[in-house]
DNA sequence: CTTACCTCCTGCCCGC
DNA sequence: TGCGGGCAGGAGGTAA
C-alpha cells in the first residue's frame, strides 16, 4: 500500500523516466478508476497535454499539464508501468496513456481502488475537490507542535487514528502509523488529548524522520528501476513492529501483539509502548 | 460534530 | 480438488 514515501518514489521515478512528455492517446478500461470527470471527458481532455511538473500531496500524485492538473491516488495496489506498446499487459491494467516518444504509461491496479482526477488548474492546490478532506502534507511547515496541540488537545481519539486521519496530516498509512507509535514509545490507543505540546514536537520529529528514512530507502528503487518491474515505490525497509505479530520486539524482546485500532490491524510492543 | 459502519474490489487463506 | 466464506484495506459516503 503506497504511503507518502512510496508515492514520492513513484513521482520522482516517473519524472526521471518521462520528464516533459506529451500524452497523445488515452484508453480507460475500468471507468470507476476515473473519479472526475467521466472517463470519456478525461480521455478527451488529457490528450494533447504535456507533463510539465511532477508533485506529491500526501499520498496523491499531481501532474502539472499546463492549463490542467492530473491527480492520481494509487490506494493499496496501484502501480505505473512505462512500457513499449508491443509489450503484453494483463487484465489489471485499467488505464493506458500513449506518449509522444512511442512508449506507454500504464496504470495497473489489482483491486481497482485507485482514483484519477483531471481538473482545470487552480492556484490553490487544496481547493481541488479531491482534496476536500485532505489536510497539510506531512512535511508542510504549517504542521507545528503549536498547531497540532491547538487542533487535537481536546479530542478523545486514539493516537493511531489521528495519524491515519488524512484531514490532519496527509501521507501516513497503516505501516508508518505503527512505526511512528513505536518510535514514540506510545500505545497506539493512547488518547491524543493526553499528549502535551512537547509530545507533539516529538511526534512531528518522528513522523518526518521515519518518512524521510523511507524516502531515502526508496531512492534505491529509482536507481535500480526497470520498466518491467513497474513503479509502485515499494522497497526493502526494515520495519520494527508493523506486520511483526508474534516476533520479538527489536528493543526488548517482548512478543509483538496485534490488535485492531481505527478498524486497522495494528502491531505494537506491549512493553515498549505504554498507554497514557 | 463525532463516531460507527458500509462501499468499492480482488487475491488469498481457511475449513470442509 | 474445489468451493464458499471471511478478511484486508484508503477514503468517501451515509446513518446514528
- A73 sits within 7 Å of strand C by its CB: yes
**Which pLDDT does position A226 carry in this prediction?**
42
- A257 sits within 7 Å of strand C by its CB: no
Higher pLDDT, A111 or A222: A111
pLDDT over threshold 60, residue A233: no
| pTM metric for this prediction | 0.91
> CA of A69 vs C1' of C2, distance in Å?
48
Ordered domains of chain A (ranges, CATH): 2-129 (3.20.190.10), 137-266 (1.10.8.50)
**Which pLDDT does position A258 carry in this prediction?**
86
Mean of per-residue pLDDT scores for chain A: 88
Higher pLDDT, A112 or A245: A112
Distance of CA A198 to the CA centre of its chain: 27
> CA of A261 vs C1' of B8, distance in Å?
21
Higher pLDDT, A61 or A1: A61
**What positions of strand B are covered by protein, i.e. any atom < 7 Å from a CB?**
2-3, 5, 8-11
Catalytic residues of A: 2-3, 59, 264
pLDDT over threshold 60, residue A234: no
pLDDT band at residue A224 using 50, 70 and 90 as cut-offs: very low
pLDDT over threshold 60, residue A6: yes
Could you read off the pLDDT of A116-160 as tens digits, one per residue?
A: 999 999 999 989 999 988 999 999 999 999 999 999 988 888 999
pLDDT over threshold 70, residue A218: no
Residue at the smallest CA–C1' distance to nucleotide B7 = A113
Q: How many CA atoms lie within 13 A of A201 on its CB side?
A: 3
- In terms of C-beta distances under 8 Å and separation of at least 24 residues, what long-range contacts does A185-188 make, across chains too? A185/A272, A185/A273, A185/A274, A186/A159, A186/A273, A186/A274, A186/A275, A186/A276, A187/A159, A187/A268, A187/A273, A187/A274, A187/A275, A187/A276, A188/A158, A188/A159, A188/A160, A188/A259, A188/A261, A188/A266, A188/A268, A188/A273
CA distances from A153 to A40, A46, A71, A89, A172 (A): 46, 44, 33, 50, 20
Min mean pLDDT across A91-105, A136-150, A222-236, A246-260 is at A222-236
> CA of A153 vs C1' of B15, distance in Å?
47
**Which pLDDT does position A227 carry in this prediction?**
41
A194 is in an annotated binding site: no
Which nucleotide is closest, CA of A167 to its C1'? C11
A198 is in an annotated binding site: no
* Dist CA A56 CA A127 (whole Å): 15
pLDDT over threshold 50, residue A221: no
CA distances from A179 to A67, A98, A214, A252 (A): 39, 39, 11, 16
pLDDT over threshold 60, residue A22: yes
- A206 sits within 7 Å of strand C by its CB: no
> CA of A237 vs C1' of C1, distance in Å?
39
Could you read off the pLDDT of A23-72 as tens digits, one per residue?
A: 999 999 999 999 999 999 999 999 999 999 999 999 999 999 999 999 99
Instruction: Kindly state the cell numbers that stand for A111.
Output: 483491486
CA distances from A46 to A31, A132, A231 (A): 15, 23, 21
Amino acid at each position: 500500500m503506497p504511503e507518502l514515501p512510496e508515492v514520492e518514489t513513484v513521482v520522482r521515478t516517473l519524472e526521471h523516466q518521462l520528464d516533459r512528455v506529451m500524452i497523445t492517446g488515452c484508453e480507460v478500461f475500468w471507468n470507476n478508476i476515473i473519479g472526475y470527470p467521466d472517463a470519456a471527458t478525461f480521455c478527451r481532455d488529457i490528450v494533447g497535454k504535456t507533463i510539465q511538473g511532477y508533485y506529491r500531496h500526501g499520498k496523491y500524485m499531481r501532474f502539472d499539464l499546463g492549463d490542467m492538473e492530473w491527480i492520481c491516488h494509487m490506494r493499496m495496489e496501484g502501480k505505473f508501468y512505462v512500457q513499449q506498446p508491443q509489450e503484453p499487459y494483463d487484465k489489471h491494467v485499467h488505464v493506458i496513456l500513449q506518449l509522444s516518444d512511442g512508449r506507454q504509461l500504464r496504470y495497473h491496479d489489482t483491486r481497482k481502488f485507485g482514483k484519477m482526477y483531471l481538473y482545470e488548474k487552480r492556484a490553490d492546490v487544496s481547493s481541488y475537490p479531491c482534496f476536500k478532506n485532505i489536510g497539510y502534507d506531512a512535511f508542510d511547515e504549517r504542521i507545528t507542535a503549536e498547531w497540532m496541540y491547538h487542533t487535537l488537545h481536546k479530542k478523545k481519539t486514539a493516537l493511531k487514528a489521528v495519524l491515519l486521519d488524512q484531514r490532519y496530516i496527509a501521507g501516513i498509512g497503516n505501516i508508518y502509523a505503527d512505526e511512528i507509535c513505536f518510535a514514540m514509545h506510545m500505545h497506539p490507543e493512547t488518547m491524543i488529548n493526553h499528549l502535551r505540546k512537547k509530545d507533539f514536537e516529538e511526534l512531528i520529529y518522528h513522523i518526518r524522520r521515519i518518512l524521510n528514512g523511507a524516502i531515502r530507502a526508496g531512492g534505491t528503487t529509482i536507481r535500480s528501476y526497470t520498466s518491467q518491474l513497474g513503479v509502485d515505490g515499494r522497497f526493502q525497509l526494515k520495519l520494527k513492529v508493523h506486520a511483526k505479530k508474534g516476533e520479538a520486539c527489536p528493543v526488548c524482546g517482548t512478543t509483538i501483539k496485534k490488535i485492531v485500532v481505527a478498524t486497522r490491524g495494528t502491531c505494537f510492543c506491549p512493553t515498549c509502548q505504554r498507554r497514557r
